[in-house]
Amino acid sequence: HGLLESNSMMTDSTLIKANASLNSLTPIETKAALSDKVARKRVKNKLGLPQSRTISNSTHISKTDKDSSLAKKEGSPRELKYKIHNSIDALSRVIIDTHVTSGKTHDSQVYIERLNHIRGKYTLTIKEAIADRAYGSRA
């Protein structure tokens, strides 16, 4: 296969910051969310104190970049991000595949799909697939 020197492939991912601000987050208005909003207003009116609100991927979406999602890696702030999954030939370090997902996508969710994509596209025989433990977990 030309530049590829082995039957071993390495895969890892990295989070990249989306071009969207946390200020662009808007609530996802489901029926349950609307009911909660009404209940919070009632509680606020009776007690004078608003209930605390959480911001998560299940409750909010960016108005300016709907494909990005809240993600955080140790040592970095929680921001709207994407995740890039790169697979390379283990010897030559040539990039075989790059796949972009939302930041909330767990590595294990796309790993087998990407291996099958690579096998099909390049008719490669992959004898060894190397990745960190996140690709082997079932999150």
124 near 1, Cβ under 8 Å?
yes
Beta-carbon contacts of residue 56 (< 8 Å; ≥ 6 apart): 70
- 92-130 pLDDT, tens per residue? 999 999 999 999 999 999 999 999 999 898 888 889 999
What is the pLDDT confidence band of residue 56, given thresholds at 50, 70 and 90? confident
Strand pairing partners for 87? 11, 97
Is the pLDDT at 138 greater than 80? The verdict is: no
Q: Tell me, what's the pLDDT at 17?
A: 95
State the sign of the Cα–Cα–Cα–Cα dihedral 124, 130, 134, 139: positive
131-136 long-range contacts (CB < 8 A, ≥24 apart) are 131/10, 131/11, 131/12, 131/107, 132/12, 132/107, 134/13, 134/106, 134/107, 134/108, 135/11, 135/107, 135/108, 135/111, 136/108
Is the pLDDT at 139 greater than 60? The verdict is: no
What is the pLDDT confidence band of residue 76, given thresholds at 50, 70 and 90? confident
What is the mean pLDDT of the segment spanning 20-45?
Answer: 74
Length of the chain (residues): 139
| Total-model pTM | 0.76
